[in-house]
Amino acid sequence: MLSINNLKASIEGKAILNGINLDIKPGEVHAIMGPNGAGKSTLSSVLAGRSDYEVNDGSALFMGKDLLALSPEDRAREGLFLAFQYPVEIPGVSSTNFLKTAINEKRKYLGLDPMEATDFLKFMKLKMEEMEMDKSLTSRSLNEGFSGGEKKRNEVFQMAMLEPKLCIMDETDSGLDIDALRLVSAGVNKLRTPERSFLVITHYQRLLDYIVPDFVHVLYKGRIVKSGDASLAKELEVKGYDWIKQEVESAK
Amino acid sequence: MSEPEIGIIDQVVSQEYKYGFSTDIEMETAPIGLSEDTVRFISAKKNEPEWLLEWRLKAYRNWLKMEAPTWQNFSYPKVDYQKVIFYAAPKQKITLDSLDQVDPELLKTFEKLGISLLEQKRLTGVAVDAVFDSVSIATTFKEQLKEKGVIFCAISEAVHEHPELIKKYLGSVVPATDNYYAALNSAVFSDGSFVYIPKGVRCPMELSTYFRINAENTGQFERTLIIADDESYVSYLEGCTAPMRDENQLHAAVVELVAMEKAEIKYSTVQNWYPGDKDGKGGIYNFVTKRGSCEGAFSKISWTQVETGSAITWKYPSCILKGDNSAAEFFSVAVTNNRQVADTGTKMIHIGKNTKSRIVSKGISAGFSQNSYRGLVKINKNASMARNYTQCDSMLIGDKCGAHTFPYIEVNNNTATLEHEASTSKIGEDQIFYCNQRGIALEEAISLIVNGFCKEVLNQLPMEFAVEAQKLLAVSLEGSVG
């Protein structure tokens, strides 16, 4: 699915990622954890193609294609989805209109005819029921006036609509209370399939109580310094990040 | 002192040629320049009655004493009126055989505008024009309107057919001496639309210049007069979607609306005149005076405008709220790009009691363009309990353009309630990236965001019109265009 090899990236000349190696296979859920400033959000931004970041070295293959050579929109159309940490508001644009545009742009890219309006609405209704979304969502402007929890649920709903192959979740748990966290996680779990992969980026372990990962990686100073299974997250919960930092420093 | 002079409307004929109309068109033109003789020539061409000629001449003499206004927020080259041809009409209609004869650049523009193929043919004057001439469509509508007693014709026709109405209302809202360009228009106006809705009649369809024969051949000094008698309703759509034939022209039109007791007029404009090229060469100067008078109690006038074209747009569709309890609205979207300039807004003059007005203005600037909202809300001494709500939002795309707001407020009655909200936003890179990440590329993302920004105004446009017009063309033209 995704194969990252020695990825190095910087912003304004400052190196943030210093050689990331990561393999994600279909259906796997990988969690990236790490202290503040480790480069977690940078990794998601670089993979999604945000232009503020410069890729200095390394490669990333997505479904066999050179991900880094694709424009951000083409990465999305190929099936890469980023659930934003801070979803932006777009006043006056309804979720319906936004998603219809997004789906039809993707279809165009894949050489398919645009979805008919009625088919689209049926599809959206179905997904809304599935994801237990409030009906008012369709007519509300995108993220405008949404609470933190609503924004994150809406990200997951968009994920359901766009049916991506790989979902990157950038600190989806930030700013959520425990109820909202449960709701969002339940949504994500509904979208888990044997084909779809997830890269869950989080600072805290609690999200991983709900979205149980197959692999946990610890990012520190732009490198993955430790990998393990879900139990590694539990260990971090108890011991914090300091012991890993020490391990890294003493290994030098 | 070497202020650039531009010969506006050098030759309508050469313009036709410039846009690839290979057919030679025989034109009937007035002698170059502006004088009393020009005014007499135009009046004579239209077989006008003596009183109208006098009216024009009076306007002309006044105009001579006037100075072009200088308070606007832009500069433009001085117009040499002695190099302008004030009357030019094709002796015969322009007819091309197929779209192949039309400048492909122009067709590309149409495609971008989303104008249908049939519409394209109509706009470029291909064969369809002939169909428009060939009575069938026109009569269908005219019959239907006649049944209701609605008068909808060219103003030059109305001068002959309904002189009492013209005499009474022409210049009643925009006096011939109102301003420099209105005076000029009054002296030399070529043609335009006339609408009269009788008492108690709800006009059964959207009226539009589209439905009128030869509408696009009316000159650059259009004059429109709409009168809605007591308890009547009319919705009028002015579509200026033809970017050709108009390069370097001054459009100084005048529109007057009169709404009697409990009458309602909805006037919508979609203006897409040629804006000039990306360096600001060419394009229309759209200096228009539009004003409506809510004459009667409980009357209502609503202006909706979508201004996307012209090198310079300079207009303030306004309302005089005379009747007690009358209401007025102004919904505007002005988009400027490249070197375009828009200085537009409205004036709401509250005279009657309990009058209310609402202003929603959305300005979008991109490129090196300048976009100004300029509005006046005036509450007169006797306009007790008057209300106004103004909202003007600006959106900037890029960092080389400008957005300006000039709201003027004059309140002479302390029972009035005025609210003003203004905002300026930029299309953020975050918004664009968000769209990109969902598979929506830059251009589509901007269009999505801008459309969202203007939604309130766009919702005011009569949709039925677009549907009606499409159906009309499709059905009526079936088989007639290869």
- On the question of pLDDT at B244 being above 70, the answer is no
Q: So what's the pLDDT on residue B136?
A: 32
Q: So what's the pLDDT on residue A251?
A: 77
Mean pLDDT of A132-156: 88
Range with lowest mean pLDDT among B94-98, B178-182, B255-259: B94-98
Q: Residue B103 — pLDDT band, cuts 50, 70, 90?
A: low
**What ranges in B46-179 are assigned the alpha helix state H?**
50-65, 104-113, 117-123, 128-133, 136-148, 155-161, 163-169
CA distance A198 to A213: 9
CA distance B287 to B252: 5
Does the distance separating the beta carbons of B451 and A93 come in below 8 Å?
A: yes
Place of tokens 């600037």: B365
Closest chain A residue to B453, measured at CA: A92
Locate the domains of chain B by residue range.
3-478
How far apart are the CA of A89 and the nearest CA of chain B, in angstroms?
7
Measured on CA atoms in the order A138, A139, A144, A146, is the torsion positive or negative?
A: negative
**Candidates B428, B439, B455; nearest CB to A92:** B455
Range with lowest mean pLDDT among A106-110, B72-76, B294-298: B72-76
Q: In what order do the strands lie in the sheet with A197-202?
A: A80-83, A166-170, A197-202, A29-33, A215-220, A223-228
Does the distance separating the beta carbons of A76 and B437 come in below 8 Å?
A: yes
Instruction: Return the top range by mean pLDDT from A196-205, A234-243, B280-289.
Output: A196-205
Mean pLDDT of B107-115: 47
How confident is the model over A168-221, as pLDDT tens digits?
A: 999 998 888 888 899 999 999 999 999 999 999 998 888 999 999 999 999 999
- On the question of pLDDT at B123 being above 90, the answer is no
Q: Which residue has the higher pLDDT, A80 or A145?
A: A80
Q: So what's the pLDDT on residue B178?
A: 92
| Closest to B222 measured CA to CA, from B249, B261, B204 | B249
How confident is the model over B36-68, as pLDDT tens digits?
A: 998 999 899 889 999 999 999 999 999 999 988
CA distance B425 to B26: 50
Substitution target from B424, B435, B459 for chain A, most A beta carbons within 10 A: B435
Q: Residue B112 — pLDDT band, cuts 50, 70, 90?
A: very low
Mean pLDDT of A79-92: 94
Beta pairing class for B327-336 and B356-366: parallel
Name the CATH code of domain A2-251 (choices 3.40.228.10, 1.10.20.60, 1.10.3720.10, 3.40.50.300). 3.40.50.300
Q: Tell me if ipTM is over 0.85.
A: yes
Closest chain A residue to B455, measured at CA: A92
Closest chain B residue to A162, measured at CA: B438
User: pTM for this structure?
Assistant: 0.78
- On the question of pLDDT at A145 being above 80, the answer is yes
Q: So what's the pLDDT on residue B283?
A: 77
Locate the domains of chain A by residue range.
2-251
Does the distance separating the beta carbons of A48 and B440 come in below 8 Å?
A: no
How confident is the model over A147-178, as pLDDT tens digits?
A: 888 999 999 999 999 999 999 999 998 888 88
Q: So what's the pLDDT on residue B275?
A: 72
Does the distance separating the beta carbons of A92 and B453 come in below 8 Å?
A: yes
Contacts of B394 in chain A (CB under 8 A): none
**Candidates A49, A71, A101; nearest CB to B448:** A101
CA distance A136 to A219: 39
Residue B381 Cα distances to B202, B239, B351, B384, B419, angstroms: 34, 38, 8, 7, 19
Does the distance separating the beta carbons of A77 and B455 come in below 8 Å?
A: no
How confident is the model over B194-238, as pLDDT tens digits?
A: 999 999 999 987 787 643 333 333 447 889 999 999 999 999 887
Measured on CA atoms in the order B454, B224, B44, B83, is the torsion positive or negative?
A: negative
Q: Write down the mean pLDDT value for chain B.
A: 77
Does the distance separating the beta carbons of B441 and A71 come in below 8 Å?
A: yes
